[in-house]
Structure formats: structure tokens, C-alpha cells
Structure 1
Amino acid sequence: MKLFRKLSDSTWDDAIDLIKYTTKRGGSVDLSKTTYSVVAPPPLREFRIGTVELLGLSRALDMHKHLANQAHDIHKDVSAHSQKVHDAEVMSYLEKEFVHKHADTIRNLAGYLRDVVSLSELENPNLAVFMFDEYLQKVV
């Protein structure tokens, strides 16, 4: 799906930008400590109409919510209210490059998910999901 490729490319670019920003400021990035989990989807035969789309959109939404929460945690650590450190430049960078962008992405994904749920309840969900996919092709 074109939407997932766009989200993946955007997240990849964000990661590269964050690594560049971190190293520019004298930090380092240890990718060996990066953890993530991959949940295997159930076999395809167990899906009903529209379930693949629901699963994909809900996973993408969860991932972006998780990334947004991590950005908020970092922002909180460098804010003036924290006892650890105050770094206005990092706060500005996070807000500009991540917080606003992820808020828009989360809002869009939640809307798409809501649309797929309502479409899957129609009399002809196959046609509805096809039409939704056509809509995404034009919007994304």
C-alpha cells in the first residue's frame, strides 16, 4: 500500500535526521540497544473482509503513537521543569521535526482507521475497501 511506504520512508528519514542532529551536537547513537518487537499476523485464512486493512492501520497508528510518546518523554527530560537539564534547542528541534508531524500522522491514521471500520460494516465490504484503497491512492 502506498500509504505504508510513505509512512515508512518518512520514519526512516526522521531517524536519519535525528542521528545527524545527535552527532552534530556531540552525542552518539548505539543502535545495538534499540529494541522493537514484531508481532506476526494471524494466517491469512482467518481474516474477514477488511480485517487486513484494519490490522495494518491499527499497527501503524500504534507505532506512531509510541514514537510520539518517546518524543514527548525526551522533550520532558530537556524542558525547564526538569531537574536534569534544560536545552531549548533540543526542545525546539523535537517540536518542529517530530511532535507536530506525528500529531498530524496520528490524526490521519485514526481517521483512516475509523473510515475502514465504518466501510467494513457496509453491505458490500469488498467494494467499500476497494473504493477506500482507490481514495488513498489519490490522497497519499
Structure 2
Amino acid sequence: MKFFIALALFACLGSLALASNEEYCQNTVITACSSSAFSGKSNSICNARFAGIDHVEPEVQSYINAQLAKSYDYLLLATHFNSYQKNRPGFQKLYQGLSDRSFDDSIALIKQVTRRGGIVDFNTRHESAGSVSTKRGTLEVDELHSLALALDTEKQLATGATHVHSRATHAADGDRDPELAHYLEENFLGKQAESVRKLSGYANDLAKLMKVPDPSLSVYLFDEYLQKQ
């Protein structure tokens, strides 16, 4: 008999403890999991948000905006070198590939934000200390200057990814987001580093080839090389 009384008392105490803890979805399921609770960000605990996503999400959205802007810039470069005046299919292929990659990265980041319970709002600018510059200069440049411009762009995107990763890793305990940091390590940091290395190599190689009185043949052969990459 005493055992059953003790068991009932323990159950009551457990129920009171749960009832006093509002941080669990099961305790607020009637109000929190109503149809209105899933119409975007809400105060509901019945969502996919955890760890430091609230702290890092504005940085991620700023980086998404930058990726989309750079994708557009690369597309303009690809169009410039695909014209009948320039006729550089190798450079066109290079910049079209970079444009597609930045666009695909934007889509991947949007999926990551929504998977973590967020919403990407393109009507709102998200600026931060690590925001990637989206100021555009002229994109009608020659081959060597286009490589320099692309290299600067890739360094900006690499720095932006590093900044978001740093925010997710080195924030205060409640604002850290190891899952997002791991996602960036797996999908962005290494890829951006390789892109910077490749473009820096292209820029230095072409600069050496153009140190002749008439560099037109050098540029043509370099474009042929890019077509095969």
C-alpha cells in the first residue's frame, strides 16, 4: 500500500514539474500547436528552432543576399565574354559556372534556414559587420581584370562564410549553433578556399603570359585552356 502511495505521489510531483516548465511543446500543445503557430516565426515552442539559430539567422540571410548578388554579377561577366565582340568561350564558361554555383549555394542556404525553422525575407536587408559588399563597379573589363574581379569576389564570399561560422561557433553559450557551423564547414568553407586558390592561379598565370608586346595570342591560348577545364 505504501508503495502505491509513494508511486502516486511521485507521479503528481512529476506532473507539477512538467506543468511549471513552459519550455516543452507537450505542455503548451493546445495553444502553441494551433494552426496559427506555424504561420512563420512565432513564440510557439513547437517549432524547429533550437540552439543559437536566432542569433545567427540574420548573418545567414545577409550571406544569402550576397550570394544572389554575386551570382548576378558573374552572369553579367559571362554575358560580356559571350558576345561577338569578345568571343571568349573559356571565360564565359568560367563565369557561368561561378554564377550557377552562387545561385545553387543561395538555394542551399535558404533550405538550411527553413529547415531550422526560419523564413528568408528578401524584402528586408540584413546588414552586419561581416556582410559581403554588393557594390558593383563596371563589369565590362578585359580578361585579366575580370579574373582579378572574380578573385576579389570569391575572397569576399569566403570571408562572409567564415564570419557566419565564427558567429555560430564563438558566441556565448546560449547563442552557439554547432549544427550550422558544421554545415558551413562541410558545404562552404573548403569550397570557397579552393575557388580562391584556383582563381588566384589563373590571374597570376595570365599576368605572366601577357608580359609580351602583343598578348593577344597568349589570351587566346589561355581561353582555350579554360574551355577544357
Asked whether the two chains share a fold, i.e. TM above 0.5, the reply is yes
Pair 1:97-2:195 in alignment: no
Larger Rg: 1 or 2?
A: 2
Aligned equivalents of 1:65 and 1:36: distance in 2? Answer: 13
Pair 1:68-2:158 in alignment: yes
Matched residues, number: 130
* 1:102-117 pair list within 5 angstroms: 102-117=192-207
- What RMSD, in angstroms, separates the aligned Cα atoms of the two structures? 1.7
> What is the TM-score normalised by the length of structure 1?
0.86
- CA deviations over 1:42-93 (Å, ceiling 9, x no partner): 7xxxxxxxx70122111111111111111111111111x3226221110111
Counterpart in the other structure of 2:136: 38
Structure 2 unaligned spans of 5+? 1-91, 127-132
Pair 1:135-2:219 in alignment: no
- CA deviations over 1:73-125 (Å, ceiling 9, x no partner): 1111111x322622111011101111000000000000000011111112431
Structure 1 unaligned spans of 5+? 43-50
Counterpart in the other structure of 1:48: none
Pick from 5, 8, 11 the counterpart of residue 99 of structure 2: 8
Residue 30 of structure 1: how far off its partner (Å): 2.3
Whichever residue aligns with residue 111 of structure 2, its letter is K
Flag as ranges the 4+ runs of structure 1 deviating above 3 A: none
Pair 1:29-2:127 in alignment: no
Pair 1:85-2:183 in alignment: no
Aligned equivalents of 1:131 and 1:98: distance in 2? Answer: 32
Pair 1:58-2:156 in alignment: no
Pick from 108, 119, 131 the counterpart of residue 209 of structure 2: 119
Aligned equivalents of 1:38 and 1:97: distance in 2? Answer: 26
Percent identity of paired positions between Structure 1 and Structure 2: 41
> What is the TM-score normalised by the length of structure 2?
0.54
Per mean C-alpha deviation after superposition, the further-off stretch among 8-17 and 84-93 is 84-93
Counterpart in the other structure of 1:47: none
Whichever residue aligns with residue 77 of structure 1, its letter is R
Which of structures 1 and 2 has the larger relative contact order (alpha carbons within 8 angstroms, sep 6+)? 1
Aligned equivalents of 2:145 and 2:215: distance in 1? Answer: 16
Residue 31 of structure 1: how far off its partner (Å): 2.1
